[in-house]
Chain A
């Protein structure tokens, strides 16, 4: 295992940021820690990096107990949400910083920095100051700076959180490609489920300072252990005490055994996908996702009465709710 966290707890005053958290991150993987704000995901990452000290528990990196080591001795690379660019240094100096404080030979620094700047596509901007870069460029510089010291693990704290949607999408795809090229074990903290699903090998879902569930993105989506995981990873309709995904709802024109009568309120065509809003007798709105051909077959129109089959809905035991 590249990273092992065992029973880590951390408290800030009255706030329990982490509550006996244990995770394992496989060597060479890209793992996302996903959760809403205040779930403890950033604190967990900071504990792994050594920027925060746990009240309890241990942190191992490649089997070595790092719990009591300061960040500078852990061999981790850290990328910050707001870039943490060294404003008084050029892009080149920023990337070279880790090598300079390690007193590496000049020639080695020159080669390494040039190589990294090419890798993050900032080759022509070496002499610029961070203030002269766009957000996306600054974050790529942050990444190059972290990679320069050849960290054993790379930790990214909401790296694309401060960027606009288009740049975020671009960088996300680019980061996955970069990871496939560089192969350094990477842990990324995010509150964006789409981001986590898209780029990670493994997703760890956190809530209230605890791990809700972890595993491959697809497994988490298809087999959520809790209501929280189901509703946080993608949209879920709540009908009574069960949850159902918009694309798991079957629509029939004739009443059936387990079908619920509903009225179509709105139909939206989004190219391949068709979204419909239905109203069920209790007055609740249910979102449904259909393919174009399914929608054409049913010829859905507002006001129409249809019957929904909720066979794919899920229920979660009450106790989990109470525990959270």
Chain B
């Protein structure tokens, strides 16, 4: 009895110290100067731009990596080809590499003096210090999540339901949308949540690739850092709060999607 109680206490205490206290402190600090001050901080032009930019990049990364992740997972499990183990290993690469290294390597490839830089410049495309580079960097670092979540689910579901669908006259496309996707939905959703969280929170890679130009290439995480350095903690707290709210919104949204139509 006592043992169980103290175990719970430890678990809750751990959560409180690591998670609840800091988040509560941010909320407290953000609202310390009243609602008006929060509103002013939140609607500052650079803050708004940073928020929109972060959301835009995250949404694009989620879409790109969900499509890539589901297709890759299906390929790895269902249609393994000779080089599949290499592909499998490469998918994990972003997890192992330091974000700064990823950012630097992107600069080396796409930068003005990089391998592809001159060709891209000649065709009027700027990657580094602009949106394409930021998207590229974010997509790169969030690459593994959907694949890693979906592969075990695809394996577990097996191919019998898909076979049944085919014998019932469904085309490959119909089978994918009506059978495969719904049956791996839980894995996809979890992968999306992780991708979204990482994309919104990404800092190192994007700052290397994009600089930190307020109102242009400054994302919400960079904004938090900049405000903090500028001795405007309220701006930092409010932006942090926005990040937390975005995370919670993602979780709630995904829970709604997951429950839809399932007994």
A residues near B, CB below 8 A? Answer: 49-51, 70-72, 74, 76-78, 80, 82, 84-88, 97-98, 101-102, 129, 131-132, 142, 145-146, 148-149
Contacts and interface: CB of A to CB of B under 8 A. Distances in A.
Interface string B226-263: 00000000000000000000000000000000000111
Interface stretch (B37-45, B105-113, B156-164): B156-164
A324 B161 CA distance: 36
Given A72-B169, A72-B171, A132 B164 contact: no
Given A51-B163, A129-B263, A131-B263, A145 B168 contact: yes
B183 A88 contact: yes
A101 B170 contact: yes
9 contacts: A49-B167, A72-B171, A78-B167, A80-B163, A84-B160, A86-B165, A86-B179, A101-B171, A101-B174
B178 interface: yes
Contacts of B166: 50-51, 70-72
A85 to B, nearest CB: 8
A71 B179 CA distance: 16
Given A101-B174, A132-B263, A87 B168 contact: no
Q: Which of A85, A87, A148, A149 has the most CB of B within 10 A?
A: A87
B35 to A, nearest CB: 44
A97 B165 contact: yes
A149 B170 CA distance: 11
Interface of B is mostly: helix
A101 B168 contact: yes
Interface residues of B, number: 20
Given A82-B160, A88-B182, A88-B261, A102 B169 contact: yes
Given A72-B167, A76-B167, A131-B263, A101 B178 contact: yes
A77 B167 CA distance: 6
A149 B171 CA distance: 14
Interface of B: 160-161, 163-171, 174, 178-179, 182-183, 185, 261-263
Nearest to A102: B169
Nearest to B169: A72
Contacts of B168: 72, 77, 97-98, 101, 145-146, 148-149
B263 A51 contact: no
Contacts of A146: 167-168
A149 B167 CA distance: 10
A148 B164 CA distance: 13
Nearest to A151: B167
Contact of A87 (B165, B178, B183): B183
Contact of A78 (B163, B178, B185): B163
Contacts of A78: 163-164, 167
A84 B169 contact: no
Contacts of B261: 88
A71 B183 contact: no
A76 B174 CA distance: 18
A80 B165 CA distance: 12
A87 B160 CA distance: 11
B260 to A, nearest CB: 10
Contacts of A49: 167
Nearest to B170: A101
Contacts of A88: 182-183, 185, 261-262
A80 B170 contact: no
